[in-house]
Amino acid sequence: MGRTWWTVVAACVALLAAGCGRSGGSNADSATSTTAPASTTASVDFGSLTNVCQPGRATGATARGVTDGEIRIATFSDAGFAGRPGLNQELFDTAEVFSKWCDDAGGINGRKIVVDERDAALTNYKPKILESCQQDFFMVGGGAVFDNTGVEDRLKCLLPDIAGFVVTAEARGADLLVQPLPNPADALQLGDLRWLARKYPASTNRVGILTGNLPTTVTVAKQDKEGIESLGWKVAYNDQYPAAGPTSWAPYVQAMRDKGVKDLIWVGEPENLAKLEQAMVDANFGVSWVRADPNHNDKKLIELAGPAVKDTCVWSSFVPFESAKSSPAMQQYLNAFARYKPNAKTKAYLGLQAWSSWLLFAQAARDCGSNLTRTCVFDNAKKVHAWTGGGLHAQSDPGSDKGSSCFLVLHATPTGFVRADINPNRGIYNCRPENGYALKGDYGKGVTLADVGKSLNELK
């Protein structure tokens, strides 16, 4: 389902409309107050999930990182990267909020969650993995840009991961991995692009693709190119920018003008897209639409671009933050942040993905009872084939690692995000088989246990 992993990479270095053009449309629901509930000593539910966290009498040092009273969990992020301080801080924020919310309800069968924040700071993923191997029971709700540098070490020490996101092909296809919103390396979500083609049929014969100049984002751009060409689109412009952002976006705007670009597929992150769109306005150059991936569902895009943000389509798998009024799960998510960390980066897509990871872990660990082992939790998570995070997102299949065919589209406007009319057929989502696409190209493969001389039978 998810493709947020690649947009995160670009970040490291460094719809008022029915559609994403200029026509009118319907508004999403307004956000409501996030007043938090009082602390509870009983088990707690989340959305449609019952008894997520609960008191209990679980005992025993059943695995590394597990004691009578605690479960040590590693959450990875790159927040300490000097080139972009606070990069993906929302992963740490979510871990903190979830653990406090869960522990207030008794933890998991009485054991409290202790989060070890593993800050890879972009270039230190491998040593942080080695630390985690010595101390932690599981990895949950995290992600790191250069996750290929430590995936072999993770598998050597048999450390499972219920990831917030994964980036590289080596990590995306690795063993001992469960994703609540799978993004397999051999599949692509094309539902929103098919929708754009129907809405703007005259604009797909001169499409631009612009991506950061990192190997991973370049791979993603190649996948996008394969996908749109499978739809019969014509690529008129295909370029790369310095991933930290160029000194000026004007040359890129001029190049798109010279090539007659009508639409743009953007592979990047909110800060750089905001600057590009400002440069487009300054040059009096526009396109029918800019397509961005889910991590652009971030208030930073609106705040930084201001009036320049228009005609921008962000596809997503989650209930919009603006629809909390009609979504108990989204409202409960916002409530938890309001109570436990009100100054956190609450409205960020990766935070939502991380929360879904934590929910999946908590459910899988709960069902192990007192005998909490890596094998039990991993096996329980792999048995889940219909998952919505309690109603936070479209249905996914974590157990089979299959991408979802469901999507919605948000139109970014100067005043916020507005949900587009994408002809939904399952709640607010468009879920049709043709939305998925099986990639034909070779974009790398994951690291297996066999690659490091291990087997699943050794997992305890």
Whether 12 has a pLDDT exceeding 80, the answer reads no
Query: Which CATH code is given to the segment(s) 17-29+187-321+403-438?
Result: 3.40.50.2300
pLDDT at 314: 95
Whether 308 has a pLDDT exceeding 80, the answer reads yes
Whether 94 has a pLDDT exceeding 50, the answer reads yes
Nearest CA to 403 out of 315, 273, 320, 327 is that of: 315
Residues 164-184: pLDDT tens digits?
A: 999 889 999 999 999 999 988
pLDDT band at residue 31 under the 50/70/90 scheme:
very low
Contact indicator for 311, 290 with CB cutoff of 8 Å: yes
Q: How many CA atoms lie within 13 A of 255 on its CB side?
A: 17
The more confidently predicted of residues 35 and 294 is 294
Extract the tokens encoding 404: 């979802």
d(CA 245, CA 265): 17
Angle between helix 4-12 and helix 270-282 axes, rounded to 10 deg? 80
pLDDT at 83: 84
The average confidence (pLDDT) of the chain is 90
To which residue do tokens 């306005």 refer?
A: 281
User: CATH 3.40.50.2300 in the chain, residues?
Assistant: 17-29+187-321+403-438, 46-185+324-398
Q: How many CA atoms lie within 13 A of 343 on its CB side?
A: 0
Extract the tokens encoding 411: 């139109």
DSSP 154-222: HHHTT--EE-S---SHHHHT-SSEE-SS---TTEEE-HHHHHHHHH-TTSTTSEEEEEESSHHHHHHHH
Extract the tokens encoding 306: 């201001």
pLDDT at 41: 60
Contact indicator for 410, 418 with CB cutoff of 8 Å: yes
Does the domain at 46-185+324-398 match CATH 3.40.50.2300? Answer given as: yes
DSSP reduced 3-state for 43: coil
pLDDT at 22: 38
Exposed e or buried b for every residue in 58-81, given b needs 16+ CB within 10 A? Answer: beeebbbbbbeebbbbbbbbbbeb
Extract the tokens encoding 254: 């001029």
Query: What's CA 182's distance to the chain center, in Å?
Result: 10
pLDDT at 403: 86
Angle between helix 89-104 and helix 328-340 axes, rounded to 10 deg? 90
| Biggest distance spanned by C-alpha atoms of the chain | 69
d(CA 265, CA 221): 9
d(CA 76, CA 29): 33
DSSP element (H, E) containing 265: strand 263-267
Residues 230-242: pLDDT tens digits?
A: 999 999 999 999 9
Q: Calculate what percentage of the chain has a pLDDT beyond 90.
A: 79
Whether 325 has a pLDDT exceeding 70, the answer reads yes
d(CA 406, CA 415): 26
d(CA 266, CA 274): 11
Q: What is the DSSP letter of 31?
A: P
Contact indicator for 46, 39 with CB cutoff of 8 Å: no
Extract the tokens encoding 203: 């604009």
Contact indicator for 203, 263 with CB cutoff of 8 Å: yes
Extract the tokens encoding 364: 């899988």
Residues 350-407: pLDDT tens digits?
A: 999 999 999 999 999 999 999 999 999 999 999 999 999 999 999 999 999 988 899 9
Q: How many CA atoms lie within 13 A of 108 on its CB side?
A: 26
Q: Calculate what percentage of the chain has a pLDDT beyond 70.
A: 91
In this structure, the number of other CB atoms found within 10 A of the CB of residue 41 comes to: 9
Q: What angle do CA 44, 395, 74 make, to 5 degrees?
A: 55
